[in-house]
Amino acid sequence: MKRVLLTGASSGIGLAMLKELIKRDYYVYGIGRDFSTDTNGLASDKFRLLSFDLTDTVELPQLVKNILNDGPLDILINNAGVAYYGNHETISAENITEMVTTNLTVPMILSKLVLPAMKQKGSGMIVNISSVTAKSTNNTHGCAYGATKAGLSSFGMSLFEEARKSGVKVMNIHPDLTDTALYRNADFLPGEDNDAHLEAEEIAKMTVDSIDEMYRIPGLNISDITLRPQKNVIQKKQKN
């Protein structure tokens, strides 16, 4: 059974990936801070949930060491992320730091920690859940968020070039507006109509399909996937 470390497994795209991976017989170590609600009723012995604040980058290596003591990891999925929106000067220094740490620093540290065993084995996959904002230079009201995602995609592309000769695969996923709680700090939401947003389950299925394909065709690396809804619509949140 392939063993996966998945960050942000407690909600949205990560929770959908947790369910999809379990269904397809992967064993998942899921990291999040709050597993109190949505993971209730997941009946399976193919996952372990770890409540941990990823911004604690001092304790993070020990957490990964404990997981690796159980055995090597086949896949790392860097999915946890956070977003704060607005004119850049309105975003607090704390929130900027939280975005950079969660969206960029943590994936770099986790990759560093899992790579030695992957390279030694001559196989392994690192999957980054980036964003379409990584490909745009027009992320107004999300300049810092977009920059963290551009950094993550750049990191993933270079890491692939560096690690490919060792058999390690790296895949960047770039979703557009997806109906999750990510917009809790925004004054807008993805459009309501079915063709104006993606569902977390759709991102999860495409990601796990691609992972399965790379196992089916060992010489293949799927480097980059971009997923967009047919229409580009956002809606302003109602003011209370």
Q: Which residues are catalytic?
A: 145
Residue choice 55, 185, 210, 221 for contact with ligand NAP (CB under 6 A): 55
Of the candidates 102, 111, 139, 172, which one interacts with ligand NAP according to CB under 6 A? 102
Q: Of 198, 200, 102, 87, which Cα lies nearest the Cα of 152?
A: 102
Q: Does 207 bind ligand NAP (CB under 6 A)?
A: no
Residue window 140-159: x/- pattern of binding to ligand NAP, with contact defined by CB under 6 A? --------------------
Q: Kindly state whether residue 177 participates in binding ligand NAP, applying the rule CB under 6 A.
A: yes
Backbone angles phi, psi at 122, to 5 degrees: 80, 20
Is 181 a binding residue for ligand NAP by CB under 6 A? The answer is yes
From its phi and psi, is residue 52 left (phi > 0), alpha (psi between -120 and 50) or beta?
A: beta
Residue (203 or 216) nearer to ligand NAP, CB: 203
Q: Are 17 and 207 in contact (CB under 8 A)?
A: yes
Residue from 4, 5, 6, 14 that binds ligand NAP (CB under 6 A)? 14
Q: Which of residues 61-100 bind ligand NAP (CB under 6 A)?
A: 79-83
Between β-strands 188-190 and 234-236, what pairing exists: parallel, antiparallel or unpaired?
Answer: antiparallel
- Confirm or reject binding of residue 4 to ligand NAP (CB under 6 A): no
Of 135, 67, 173, 53, the residue nearest 101 (C-alpha)? 53
Secondary-structure breakdown of the chain: helix, strand, coil percentages, each rounded to the nearest 5: 45, 20, 35
- Does residue 187 bind ligand NAP (CB under 6 A)? no
Q: Tell me: does residue 34 bind ligand NAP (CB under 6 A).
A: yes
By CB under 6 A, residue 11 contacts ligand NAP: yes
Structure tokens of 102? 């969660």
